[in-house]
Amino acid sequence: MENGKKVMLSGIQPSGELHIGNYLGPLRHWPEMIEEFDCYFFLADLHTITVRQEPAELRRRVLTLLASYIACGLAPEKCTLFIQSHVPAHSQLAWVLDCYTMFGELSRMTQFKDKSARNADNINAGLFTYPVLMAADILIYQPDFVPVGEDQRQHVEICRDIANRFNGIYGDVFKVPEPYIAKVGARIMSLSTPEKKMSKSQPEGCVFLMDKPEDIMRKFKRAVTDSDAERCVRYAPEEKPGVANLMQIYASATGKSYEEIEREFDGKGYGAFKPAVGEAVVECLRPIREETERLLADKAYLESVYRAGAEKAGYVANKTLRKVYKKVGFLPG
């Protein structure tokens, strides 16, 4: 705990580019979190290799993600930004926790079943023990809170189970973290399939933070609206999911209400509306893209950020690891 603040920890896999669903959703609110909490943000490169990666591409994505985080407002002087593999204590604690996690618990994990079905030719042990490494990522920093979406709730629950089991044997070693339901912002759907969340797996329906303005405009001009004969801009998610999604994006990018948007485009139709949404997104993302590009050109600065972050994170992580090693009976090195 720093300056009396509660500790918050969050990690993200560098498995793809950030898109506006990430930014207009939770990421936009993270700068508020770093004012309220002592925050640790890490790039989970160890988790990424449960699926085969091209090494040079993985390194590029890690640096791009780090630069994008900073460009989105995660100032390194206000939080701890680091790369997971640069703090060996994560993997060291994971092995200890493996020995306090039951086979049956891991077998029931929904994500293991889903990923096994999608990667039938590569069902590796890392995929199976993924939740234990995730528990180590969390518990080693003794955080009070972990921001969690619905898809990660099961991982936080098994983390709490492992912590309680270990504490039940050895005393209060780990702080048992609470899930933190962060401000999620807008829930952005795919431009091409508005019934589904925006995802990097559907690049034509996905607007990435680093997309060029002309690519953003092209994607919005092709965005699915509806076959409604009136072709009016009206917020009706059930009847007009494509239009409602575009209105939500426009509202998030401009700060306008749905009523204001309906008045602005009254009688103008989709031919005027879709390019306007695209232009608003271009201007919303322009400073982020330009700052990310500037940072990527300064590799020395980015290296100084992740080295300083790993040093600070390592100091905290190693204190927990030494305590755990002593509890289980390891001799000090």
Q: Identify the burial level of 157 via C-beta atoms within 10 angstroms of its C-beta, where 0-12 means exposed, 13-18 middle and 19 or more buried.
A: middle
Do the bridges between strand 178-180 and strand 145-147 make them parallel or antiparallel, or are there none, so unpaired? parallel
- Of 5, 6, 175, 197, catalytic: 197
Three-point CA angle 64, 279, 16, nearest 5°: 25
Gap between the Cα atoms of 91 and 132, Å rounded: 10
Please indicate whether residue 115 is annotated as part of the active site. Answer: yes
- Of 115, 219, 240, 274, catalytic: 115
Please indicate whether residue 221 is annotated as part of the active site. Answer: no
Gap between the Cα atoms of 63 and 267, Å rounded: 46
- Of 5, 6, 175, 200, catalytic: 200
Alpha-carbon Rg for the chain in angstroms: 22
SS3 assignment, position 289: helix
Gap between the Cα atoms of 282 and 278, Å rounded: 6
Q: Identify the burial level of 269 via C-beta atoms within 10 angstroms of its C-beta, where 0-12 means exposed, 13-18 middle and 19 or more buried.
A: middle
The answer for residues whose C-beta is within 8 angstroms of residue 16's C-beta and 6 or more apart is 61, 200
For the record, the structure tokens of 46 come out as 């160890």
Gap between the Cα atoms of 196 and 178, Å rounded: 29
DSSP of 101-158, one letter per residue?
S-HHHHHT-HHHHHHHHHTTT---HHHHHHHHHHHHHHHTT--SEEE--GGGHHHHHH
133, 155 contact by CB (below 8 A): no
Q: How far apart are the first and last CA of the chain?
A: 27
- Residues annotated as catalytic are 115, 197, 200
